[in-house]
């Protein structure tokens, strides 16, 4: 298939027949894709590779739905969340606000995250990702962490709104001023990356 990217080739010994009639996977792939599309949406169905017998009959070639070089998530400068739809997720507890936000982002692009572990804190999530437990949606860190790659999400709604308030007409300690300057710089960087208006006002309350 010249217009698609070949992801991998497998032999018949790697495949298990499906259904009561033992049909080969490449014979039922279209049907499976229709079921996934109907139940989980286009975004998830489009992630499925298309298996086709090689022209010499020796292998099954798996084709991606997009052209171009195959890249891992860790190699990307930014990505849409749907690219991780087939990965295992490590997440916060069900009643955590950030967990609700993350689950909502996944559902908005057409999939339910496959949860393999629930943790009590974001630092624990990063540790689990670093040892290969899965992927996670976490706030960005200001400095790199060994063994961990963070890729910004480009999906609409992939951010949290926070507020920084201080008493008007009162002096702040040096530490408070430095903290406020740091937060304002991070907000400015985020809004510039998103292409938003960077005029935040004085922020006082």
How many whole angstroms separate alpha carbon 196 and alpha carbon 149?
25
Question: Structurally, how many domains does the chain consist of?
Answer: 3
Q: What is the pLDDT of residue 34?
A: 86
Do residues 116 and 152 both lie within one domain? Answer: yes
The residues pairing with 196 across neighbouring beta strands, listed in sequence order, are none
Residue 148 is assigned to a structural domain of this protein: yes
* Alpha carbons within 13 A on the beta-carbon side of 141: 13
- Residue ranges making up the domain that contains 31: 6-63
Q: Are 15 and 60 within 8 A, CB to CB? A: yes
Q: Are 82 and 110 within 8 A, CB to CB? A: yes
Q: What is the pLDDT of residue 201?
A: 47
pTM of full prediction above 0.95: no
Tokens of 105: 């982002």
Do residues 94 and 144 both lie within one domain? Answer: yes
Tokens of 81: 């969340």
Q: What is the pLDDT of residue 16?
A: 58
Residue 58 is assigned to a structural domain of this protein: yes
Do residues 152 and 166 both lie within one domain? Answer: no
**Count of residues making up the chain:** 205
Do residues 148 and 112 both lie within one domain? Answer: yes
Q: What does pLDDT average to in each consecutive run of 10 residues of the chain (205 residues)? A: 58 56 65 82 76 76 71 76 88 91 91 92 90 90 80 85 84 92 79 56 42
Among residues 195, 196, 34, 43, the alpha carbon closest in space to that of 105 is found at 43
Tokens of 43: 């975004």
Query: Which of 36, 63, 90 represents a domain boundary (last residue)?
Result: 63
């Amino acid at each position: 298939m010249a217009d698609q990217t070949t992801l991998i080739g497998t032999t018949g010994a790697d495949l298990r027949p499906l259904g009561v009639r033992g049909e080969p996977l490449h014979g039922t792939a279209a049907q499976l894709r229709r079921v996934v599309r109907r139940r989980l949406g286009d975004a998830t169905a489009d992630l499925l590779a298309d298996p086709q017998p090689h022209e010499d009959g020796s292998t099954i070639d798996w084709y991606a739905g997009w052209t171009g070089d195959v890249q891992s998530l860790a190699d990307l400068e930014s990505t849409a969340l749907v690219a991780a739809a087939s990965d295992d997720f490590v997440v916060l507890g069900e009643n955590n606000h950030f967990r609700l936000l993350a689950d909502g982002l996944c559902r908005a692009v057409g999939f339910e995250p496959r949860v393999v572990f629930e943790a009590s804190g974001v630092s624990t999530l990063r540790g689990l990702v670093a040892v290969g437990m899965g992927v996670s949606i976490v706030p960005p860190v200001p400095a790199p962490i060994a063994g961990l790659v963070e890729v910004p999400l480009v999906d609409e709604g992939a951010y949290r709104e926070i507020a920084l308030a201080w008493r008007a007409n009162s002096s702040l300690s040096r530490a408070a001023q430095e903290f406020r300057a740091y937060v304002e710089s991070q907000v400015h960087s985020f809004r510039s990356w998103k292409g938003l208006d960077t005029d935040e006002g004085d922020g006082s309350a």
